[in-house]
Amino acid sequence: MSASVSLTALPGLPMVQAGDDLAALLQAGLARVGSAAGDVLAVAQKIVSKAEGRSIRLADVTPSPAARALAEETGKDPALVELILSESVRVVRARPNLIIVEHKLGFVMANAGIDQSNVGDEGHALLLPVDPDASAAALSARLGLPVVITDSFGRAWRRGTVGVAIGVAGLPAMLDLRGQPDLFGRELRVSITGFADEIAAAAGLVMGQGAEARPAVLVRGLAWEAPATPASALVRVGAEDLFR
């Protein structure tokens, strides 16, 4: 555990377009701030999705009857709802102006993570990367440092979104402190921390969401000993999910 951690936005990143070599753009950004062993790069999902060509023209989408019905119920665009359903395994909650689903990747999230803000192409929607852990691994291999791909999620009982990790490579998504002594030598009993999620939330403080968005943040000063695990390890599955 570190006594000091810093988060610095990579300066000078251009708008990312479909087909861009994102690793090369990030490498250039890293060169401008300088990176060292132990640094971690947090990257916003949006630029990963854009580079991977995950922007879909809504006019090209044909809504199914189920999508039309859910669009009616929620007041959302039927084409957008079709995309949401096609990205999901089930609808968890639907209300006017709100659709919470279980994404195919296991994430329980609004709108299957599909974004219309900051997409840049009017009439388009941006899907999550097909395999964010694989995207993180590919970026990590090219850049030579651990990578966390972040998105903003709402929470069940708390207002406001926070950054979470949807792709992780090169560091443990969770830190399991069970069995270690506490300050008084008593064994810590329930202490698995969502390490990559805390990194993503911290990066959110620098990334922003509006016109000043900064989609890549260098995180310096983290320390860990556990082996790397992907973001998929953060998903509660089956009987562990008490809030289906």
Q: Which residues between 99 and 118 bind a copy of itself (CB under 8 A)?
A: 100, 107-108, 110, 116-118
Quick one: which segment of 24-32, 69-77, 129-137, 188-196 binds a copy of itself (CB under 8 A)?
188-196
Residue of 9, 2, 44, 60 whose CA lies nearest to 151: 44
The helix/strand/coil state of 55 is strand
Residue of 212, 199, 187, 158 whose CA lies nearest to 41: 199
Of residues 138 and 229, the one with the C-beta less far from a copy of itself: 229
Query: Is residue 182 involved in binding a copy of itself (CB under 8 A)?
Result: yes
With vertex at residue 24, the alpha carbon angle to CA 19 and CA 26, rounded to the nearest 5 degrees, is 105
**Of 116-135, which residues contact a copy of itself (CB under 8 A)?**
116-120, 122
Query: Is residue 156 involved in binding a copy of itself (CB under 8 A)?
Result: yes
| Residue 190 near residue 210, CB atoms below 8 Å | no
Of residues 138 and 145, the one with the C-beta less far from a copy of itself: 145
Query: Is residue 36 involved in binding a copy of itself (CB under 8 A)?
Result: no
Among 14, 36, 212, 227, binds a copy of itself (CB under 8 A): 212
Query: Is residue 208 involved in binding a copy of itself (CB under 8 A)?
Result: yes
Residue with tokens 């556990």, as numbered in its chain: 226
| Residue 55 near residue 64, CB atoms below 8 Å | no
End-to-end CA gap in the chain: 34
Query: Is residue 222 involved in binding a copy of itself (CB under 8 A)?
Result: yes
Residue of 57, 55, 58, 46 whose CA lies nearest to 22: 46
Quick one: which segment of 49-57, 59-67, 74-82, 233-241 binds a copy of itself (CB under 8 A)?
233-241
| Residue 15 near residue 50, CB atoms below 8 Å | no
Among 36, 37, 59, 190, binds a copy of itself (CB under 8 A): 190
Of residues 142 and 220, the one with the C-beta less far from a copy of itself: 220
Among 17, 86, 131, 177, binds a copy of itself (CB under 8 A): 177
Cβ partners under 8 Å of residue 20, min gap 6: 50, 51
Closest approach, Cβ 192 to a copy of itself, in A, equals 5
The helix/strand/coil state of 108 is strand
Of residues 138 and 167, the one with the C-beta less far from a copy of itself: 167
Cβ partners under 8 Å of residue 182, min gap 6: 188
Among 184, 225, 227, 238, binds a copy of itself (CB under 8 A): 184
**Of 81-100, which residues contact a copy of itself (CB under 8 A)?**
93, 95, 100
Of residues 142 and 214, the one with the C-beta less far from a copy of itself: 214
| Residue 168 near residue 145, CB atoms below 8 Å | no
